[in-house]
Amino acid sequence: MKIAVLTGAGISAESGIETFRDREKGLWYNYNVDKVATLEGWENNPKLVLEFHNMLRKKCRDIKPNAAHLALVELEKEHDVTIVTQNVDDLHEKAGSTKILHIHGELMKGRDSMDKLLHVEDDINIGDLDEYDEQIRPHTVLFGEEPYYYYNAIEAIIESDILIVIGTSFSIGYIPTMVSVVENHCKVYYIDPEPDLIVEHLGILNLEVRRQKAGVGVTKLVKEILC
């Protein structure tokens, strides 16, 4: 059975990574998103953008996957699972999942001027140049840029027999479009303690909303599927 899993910040929150919704108390508190996470910000002040990403990278380096990530690995042992994640952390990889589309990029990678990906062990700083003497940048999608692997993600969702959406908001422009491409036979589960009820107006025939945190909700659902 083909299963597509769309994960947002909510699945990583239980590992200790604050979501954007936590910006009044979390890691976004001391940062202006327009200056550290936008294409314009990168063009105006790349040093600040690099510092922000370096801080995120340090924070994420020692964080471990939680029950939700581990449950998806168990699901992959029995089914063809493709994970489409908005998260730039590497928690799905740490848990052991193998088919992962990082549509917002990867925090542990940098990118040169020819879009070649570079593994990042430490910080990226101003003056770290590629072979063309151009500044290396974080391999993350900044606001104002298009997501990666969009059509690969759409294909995975169209081909799925089950779609599991975990911890994401449907107010993000392209998310309703991605989810709406599911075939009529596809069963769609949306797991979030505070679900975005826009999803109920998308016309999805086989939708089930579960108001649960990722760790509990995903673990329970995976057990149901594997029974």
Q: pLDDT 10s per residue in the chain (227 long)?
A: 999 999 999 999 999 987 655 555 555 556 788 899 999 999 999 999 999 999 999 989 989 999 999 999 999 999 999 999 999 999 999 999 999 999 999 999 999 999 999 999 889 999 999 999 999 999 999 998 999 999 999 999 999 999 999 999 888 778 899 999 999 999 999 999 999 988 888 889 999 999 999 999 999 999 999 99
Task: Give the helix ranges, DSSP H, for the chain.
Answer: 9-13, 33-36, 39-44, 46-61, 67-76, 91-95, 150-158, 175-180, 214-226
pLDDT given for residue 26 in this prediction: 53
pLDDT given for residue 29 in this prediction: 58
Q: To which CATH superfamily is domain 1-16+65-104+146-227 assigned?
A: TPP-binding domain (3.40.50.1220)
Find residue 209's DSSP bridge partners.
Answer: 190
Query: Catalytic: which of 104, 119, 139, 201?
Result: 104
Kindly list the domain boundaries of the chain, sorted by start residue. 1-16+65-104+146-227, 18-62+108-140
pLDDT given for residue 31 in this prediction: 75
Residues in the chain: 227
For the question of residue 201 being annotated catalytic, the response is no
- Reference 15, options 64, 86, 70, 55; nearest CA is 64
Half-sphere exposure of 159 (CA within 13 A, CB side): 11
pLDDT given for residue 19 in this prediction: 65
Cα–Cα distance, 31 to 49 (Å, whole number): 10
- pTM of the predicted model as reported, rounded to 2 decimal places: 0.93
Q: To which CATH superfamily is domain 18-62+108-140 assigned?
A: SIR2/SIRT2 'Small Domain' (3.30.1600.10)
Asked if 85 contacts 147 with a C-beta cutoff of 8 angstroms, the reply is no
Cα–Cα distance, 57 to 89 (Å, whole number): 8
To which residue do tokens 């193998």 refer?
Answer: 98
